[in-house]
Amino acid sequence: MSSPVQTITDLVRQRVLRDGVDLSADAELANQYVRDEVRRYGERALTGSDPLLADDLAAHRQVLAAVNGFGPLQPLLDDPTVEELWINGPSRIFAARGGIPELTSIVLSDDEIRALVERMLAGTGRRVDHSSPFVDASLPDGSRLHVVIPDVTRKHWAVNIRKFGRGIRDLGQLVEAGSLGRDAAEFLRMGVLAGCNILVSGATQAGKTTMLGALLAAARPGERVVTVEETFELDLRSRDVVAMQCRQPSLEGTGEVTLRRLVKEALRMRPDRLVVGEVREAESLDLLIALSSGIPGACSIHAGTAREALVKLCTLPLLAGRNIDGAFVVPTVAASIDIVVHCAMTRGGERRVMEIIAPTGRIDGSVIEASVLFARDSTGLRATGSHPEKLGKFEAAGLDPAHVLGRAA
C-alpha cells in the first residue's frame, strides 16, 4: 500500500473510531467516509504538504478495500474470473482462473494475513486458535473460507477461499456451458421431478456443488427443501427452503452442532426433499436411513468415478459404530440411490459430467450392480442405450425417460 493510501486509510479508521460507526453494515456510509478523506487529502496535497495521488479513483478503491473489505485480496474477490485463491505464505498467494492456478504479485506479512482472517471471521461466530487450529466459514458473498494455522502447518497460516459462481443455476445453463448433453439434462430433470435420490460425485473443484444446485432448481416450486452443510455453499432460490450449517464448539467445548445432528433435525422439519451438501463421515448413515424411509434426497461425495462413489457410500456409514455392518449398508445403498452423476474437471479447467449411472437395486456379493445410462466420449456425453431398472418413481410421477435414453445425447 502506497504512503498516501496508507495515510488516507489511517484517517478513515480514526474517523470511524471517533464516530463509533460500523462501515461493514453500511456500504454507502463507507463510500462517503472514503470519498471525504480522499478529497481532503487531495486538497492538502495541492498545497504541497502531502505527496500527490497518482489516481484518485484507484486510491478510493484501495482505501475502501482496506477499511471495509479484505485489503489486497479484495480485487481478486471482486474479479468474476477468479474461482479460488489461497495463501501458502506471505509471498505465496495464488489465484485460480478456469481451473488453472497462477502466482500473484501480492505480498503480505504474517500479521496482515492474520488480521485479514480475523476480519473474515468477524460475525461468523467461528474462530481459529491453538485450541481450534482449523476453521471453515462462509464469507458475506457466499465464498467458503478454510484456514489452518501453525503448528499444524509448518510456519505460515494456510488460507483458502473458494468462490461460488452464481452464473449457473439450472440444468439448461449447464447444457449451454457444454458440461451436460440435452438428453442427459432432460433425464436428470425427470429424475428430480420423480423424487429420485441422486448422488453427485467428483473430485475437489469438479463442480459438484454447482450440479447439486442445478438439480434442485428443477424441483417443483411448492416443494419444501431442507439443506444441511458444513458451511453454507448451496444458494437455492426455492420458495420454501431451510438452510442449516454446522457450528463449532465454544471455548468451553460446548455448543457444537454436527452434520449428524443437523440431518436428524432436518427430518423433524417436514422436508419434501432433504439435501446434504457433502457426506464425509458417519452422517451418511443418517442420510441413508432418511432416504430409505421415503424422503427424496440428494447429496455430493468425493470419489474418482460413479461406481467408486457407491463403494464409498457403502463404507462411510461404518464409521457410525461397530454395530453397523455391510450386511445392512450395502443393500440399503443399492435400494436407496437411484442416480449417480459423476463430475470432473479437465486439464484445461473445464467442468464436465463424465457419466450417469443408475443402480439396479441388486447386489452381487458386496458389489452394487448399476447400469451406465450416459458416458462421455470424444464427441460428448452420450446415451448408452441402457435404461434404469428401477422405474417405479418415474411411473408414479407420470414420466417416461425412455425417449431420452434411447438416442445419443
Question: How high does pLDDT run on average in the chain?
Answer: 90
Q: For residue 25, what pLDDT is reported?
A: 64
Mean pLDDT of 29-48: 89
Q: For the chain, give every domain's residue range.
A: 1-68, 74-165, 171-406
Strands 339-345 and 198-202: parallel
Residue 408, pLDDT > 50, answer no
User: By three-state DSSP, how is residue 201 classified?
Assistant: strand
Nearest Cα residue to 191 out of 333, 381, 351, 395: 395
Residue 409, pLDDT > 70, answer no
pLDDT, tens digit (0-9, with 9 covering 90-100), for 299-346: 999 999 999 999 999 999 999 888 888 889 999 999 999 999 999 998
Distance separating alpha carbons of residues 207 and 44, to the nearest angstrom:
51
Q: Kindly indicate whether the domain formed by 74-165 is annotated with CATH number 3.30.450.90.
A: yes
Residue 156, pLDDT > 70, answer yes
Range among 122-126, 196-200, 231-235 with highest mean pLDDT value: 196-200
Mean pLDDT of 353-363: 97
Mean pLDDT of 28-50: 88
Q: For residue 385, what pLDDT is reported?
A: 93
Note whether 67 and 9 are within 8 A (CB): yes
Mean pLDDT of 3-31: 82
Mean pLDDT of 32-59: 87
Mean pLDDT of 258-270: 94
Q: At CA 327, angle to CA 321 and CA 332, rounded to 5?
A: 90
Distance separating alpha carbons of residues 58 and 8, to the nearest angstrom:
12
Note whether 338 and 388 are within 8 A (CB): yes
Distance separating alpha carbons of residues 361 and 368, to the nearest angstrom:
7
Q: How many Cβ atoms are within 10 Å of 158's Cβ, its own excluded?
A: 20
Q: What one-letter code names the amino acid at 316? A: L
Residue length, the chain?
409
What DSSP character marks residue 155?
A: S
Q: For the residues of 201-214, what is the DSSP string, one character each?
A: EESTTSSHHHHHHH
Nearest Cα residue to 269 out of 225, 233, 232, 230: 225
Strands 380-383 and 367-377: antiparallel
Confidence at 66, pLDDT banded by 50, 70, 90:
confident
Residue 238, pLDDT > 80, answer no
Higher pLDDT, 122 or 199: 199
For helices 3-19 and 56-68, what crossing angle results, to 10°?
50
User: By three-state DSSP, how is residue 383 classified?
Assistant: strand
Q: For residue 2, what pLDDT is reported?
A: 58
Q: For residue 165, what pLDDT is reported?
A: 64
C-alpha cell at 58: 484507484
Task: Express as a percent the part of the chain with pLDDT over 90.
Answer: 61
Strands 82-89 and 158-162: antiparallel
pLDDT, tens digit (0-9, with 9 covering 90-100), for 360-402: 999 998 899 999 999 999 889 999 999 999 999 999 999 999 9
Q: Which CATH superfamily is domain 171-406 in?
A: P-loop containing nucleotide triphosphate hydrolases (3.40.50.300)
Confidence at 166, pLDDT banded by 50, 70, 90:
low
Least confident of 49-63, 96-110, 174-188, 324-338: 49-63
C-alpha cell at 330: 450395502
Note whether 300 and 212 are within 8 A (CB): yes
Residue 263, pLDDT > 60, answer yes
Q: For residue 24, what pLDDT is reported?
A: 66
C-alpha cell at 69: 473489505
H-state helical runs in 156-202: 171-176, 182-193
